[in-house]
Structure 1
């Protein structure tokens, strides 16, 4: 589906990329879940000083940055960014005339995929946070009405894990994107 095509970034293959996409975010999410599980009374999720409100404030800025970075990278007039990436270039399998083709990515294509992905994921995380802010108290009351505080605590812990997974993925991928914008674009392909 075209609306979610920025998720094609996850189809890019490279030996280091799995660390930024899955391993670091998963470890961070497990750590966040453990911290929340043991300190849930001290860490508010919603409210004026809650985690989600603070992250949504940051995401409002980042969404614009990601879109601006995507536009800038798309229009850079530097021929070196249109070369296939040096060393072991990342690849993606694309369909071309009913045939699947493994394509080595240029710096421009890789960074465009990266910032498109970041823009979409930050918008999704912002939307999840907005729904949690607007409906969190109502959902909590409904869960307590059906079961107990322990079940609510467990559901909130799982939510923190899911939310942290996406957030830490955004942070790791943003740092990778900043590396390419600030360092790799200005180095030779050697």
Structure 2
């Protein structure tokens, strides 16, 4: 139960019924990761010693993400306390109703799983908890990788997977954050 509570922000990935969500969650991050890797290949010939150690590209990228959890938590707090009642209406999609699968324990201690319709508020709260989770994970990766003394060339495949993973999670976090910003800056004003 404790593990499921710790990783509960990943429930954002279980939200179903939104047509563009797959684009923001998987396709855009994969494309941006591919473009980033291609750029790194052009610049350094995919010299992982240069990418990870000499240029400190990954370190700088992860240091930037260290600034983000506070902003994401502030956005989460603002959404949770936003006073407009329209934000508690269900997400509007004429073809399908957006849902999320939740696991919970009732008063009798029985475990249940069910899909629930989600409101705009729930969607934005889940989204910003997800990007907060990802930014903290990237921060922890940065902290632990800074004390790891490993020859990048000796572990070429592992170092390549590390770069791919960091870039994909970074772009996934950023595209999801941009989706949240779209809802907060534009879409929320169209609520009726």
| Shorter-normalised TM range | 0.7 to 0.9
Equivalent residue for 1:62? Answer: 68
Matches within 5 A, 1:10-25: 10-13=13-16, 14-25=18-29
Could you tell me which runs of 5 or more consecutive residues in structure 1 were left unpaired when the two chains were aligned. 144-148
Equivalent residue for 2:176? Answer: 173
Identify, as 1 or 2, the structure richer in helix: 1
User: How far apart in 2 are the matches of 1:58 and 1:162?
Assistant: 16
Deviation at 1:104, TM superposition (A): 1.8
- Across the two proteins, how many residue pairs are aligned to each other? 178
User: How far apart in 2 are the matches of 1:56 and 1:157?
Assistant: 16
Q: Among residues 147, 158, 164, which one is paired with 1:155 in the alignment?
A: 158
User: How far apart in 2 are the matches of 1:89 and 1:72?
Assistant: 25
Equivalent residue for 1:45? Answer: 52
Equivalent residue for 1:3? Answer: 6
Q: Does 1:106 align with 2:109?
A: no
Deviation at 1:165, TM superposition (A): 0.7
Cα 1:155–1:95 shift into 2, 3 Å: closer
Deviations 1:55-86 (A, max 9, x none): 23322221100011001100111101001112
User: How far apart in 1 are the matches of 2:114 and 2:160?
Assistant: 42
Equivalent residue for 1:78? Answer: 84
Could you tell me which runs of 5 or more consecutive residues in structure 2 were left unpaired when the two chains were aligned. none
Normalising by structure 2, report the TM-score. 0.82
